[in-house]
């Protein structure tokens, strides 16, 4: 369920705004495009745009024109039901692509809110389609990215439909840990960008339950919690929580 390990961008600073930029790894790096193709792809990517913490990259109901590649930062995506309940559908970090849900109706169906100061590259969708008609590798890659989103969503359904609170939290922490590791950050010590309430919304739990479960993990020596700083002290125990066979 986790994408293959991808290397951190070590290219010189002056190249960082190009398509080889690490922030666009999901869209570009694994492609193996020719230099010319790279340049074409570069051509459609607009200047990075900063989004302050708390600001919306887009909101449900707004017309759809572009996908967004996160260059830097951290976002939550959430849907609001007719009667006002929020469901966080995902947390997204650098290198990931947002907005694919909007393709179906040409209208955004989620809110995307920055949870820290962030930067995104806008990718006009018409351009993506046009270019991917010319570059089969890009086409294939784009399809894989969309498909990966579907697979991820299925994983969340499994979590919401089958798992107990402790398992959900353990899965959540391990997932974050892996994604930070891929980006070259510590996998055992990281800062949560979201509130307990947002974690709860994502995991189908109330914020009190999130808080209690984190405390319990701490008591058991699995993690250390200091506000939003999390240190994983016994990753294997967390993994064991997940693998435990639940009879039936």
Query: Residue 102 binds which entry of a second copy, DNA, none, with Cβ cut-offs from 5 to 8 Å by kind?
Result: a second copy
Please give the full DSSP string across 202-247, using - where no structure is assigned. HHT--HHHHHHHHHHHHHTTSEEEETTEEEES-HHHHHHHHH----
Pick the stretch among 10-18, 23-31, 84-92, 182-190 that binds a second copy (CB under 8 A): 84-92
Residue with Cβ nearer a second copy (10 or 245): 245
- Min dist CB 112 to DNA, Å, is 17
Say how far apart CA 138 and CA 146 lie, in whole Å.
Answer: 12
Say how far apart CA 95 and CA 190 lie, in whole Å.
Answer: 18
Q: Which residue in 84, 219, 226, 236 binds a second copy (CB under 8 A)?
A: 84
- Starting at the edge strand found earlier in the chain, the sheet holding 111-114 runs 56-58, 111-114, 74-80, 86-93
Pick the stretch among 42-50, 113-121, 155-163, 224-232 that binds a second copy (CB under 8 A): 155-163
Which residues within the stretch 188-227 sit at the binding site for a second copy (CB under 8 A)? 201-204
Report yes or no: 207 and 200 within 8 Å, Cβ to Cβ. Answer: yes
Judged by CB under 8 A, does residue 140 bind a second copy? yes
Report yes or no: 196 and 211 within 8 Å, Cβ to Cβ. Answer: yes
Residue numbers at the binding site for DNA (CB under 7 A): 164-166, 192, 195-197, 200, 204-212, 214-215, 225, 227-228
Judged by CB under 8 A, does residue 2 bind a second copy? no
Judged by CB under 8 A, does residue 109 bind a second copy? yes
Report yes or no: 141 and 79 within 8 Å, Cβ to Cβ. Answer: no
SS3 category, 31: helix
Query: Residue 214 binds which entry of a second copy, DNA, none, with Cβ cut-offs from 5 to 8 Å by kind?
Result: DNA
Please give the full DSSP string across 129-164, using - where no structure is assigned. HHHHHH-HHHHHHHHHHHHHHHHHHHHHHHHHHH--
Judged by CB under 8 A, does residue 85 bind a second copy? yes
Query: Residue 160 binds which entry of a second copy, DNA, none, with Cβ cut-offs from 5 to 8 Å by kind?
Result: a second copy
Judged by CB under 8 A, does residue 133 bind a second copy? yes
Residues facing residue 190 across a β-bridge = 230
- Min dist CB 111 to a second copy, Å, is 12
- Give the residues lining the site for a second copy (CB under 8 A): 79, 81-85, 87, 89, 100-105, 109-110, 129, 132-134, 136, 139-140, 143-151, 153-158, 160-162, 201-204, 242-246, 248
């Amino acid at each position: 369920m986790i994408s293959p390990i991808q290397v951190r961008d070590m290219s010189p600073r002056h190249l960082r705004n190009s398509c080889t930029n690490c922030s666009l790894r999901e869209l570009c790096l694994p492609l193996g495009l020719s230099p010319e193709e790279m340049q074409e792809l570069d051509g459609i990517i607009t200047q990075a745009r900063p989004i302050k913490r708390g600001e919306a990259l887009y909101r449900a109901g707004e017309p759809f024109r572009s996908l967004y590649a996160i260059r830097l930062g951290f976002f939550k995506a959430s849907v609001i039901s007719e009667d006002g309940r929020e469901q966080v559908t995902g947390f997204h970090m650098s290198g990931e692509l947002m907005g694919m849900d909007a393709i179906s109706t040409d209208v955004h169906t989620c809110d995307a809110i920055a949870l820290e100061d962030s930067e995104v590259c806008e990718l006009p969708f018409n351009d993506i389609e046009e270019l991917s008609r010319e570059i089969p590798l890009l086409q294939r890659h784009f399809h894989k990215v969309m498909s990966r989103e579907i697979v991820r969503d299925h994983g969340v359904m499994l979590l919401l439909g089958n798992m107990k609170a402790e398992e959900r939290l353990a899965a959540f922490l391990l997932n974050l840990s892996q994604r930070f590791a891929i980006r070259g950050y510590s996998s055992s010590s990281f800062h949560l960008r979201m509130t307990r309430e947002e974690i709860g919304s994502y995991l189908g739990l109330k914020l009190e339950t999130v808080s209690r479960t984190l405390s319990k993990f701490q008591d058991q020596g699995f993690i250390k919690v200091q506000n939003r700083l999390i240190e994983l002290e016994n990753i294997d125990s967390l993994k064991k929580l997940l693998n435990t066979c639940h009879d039936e």
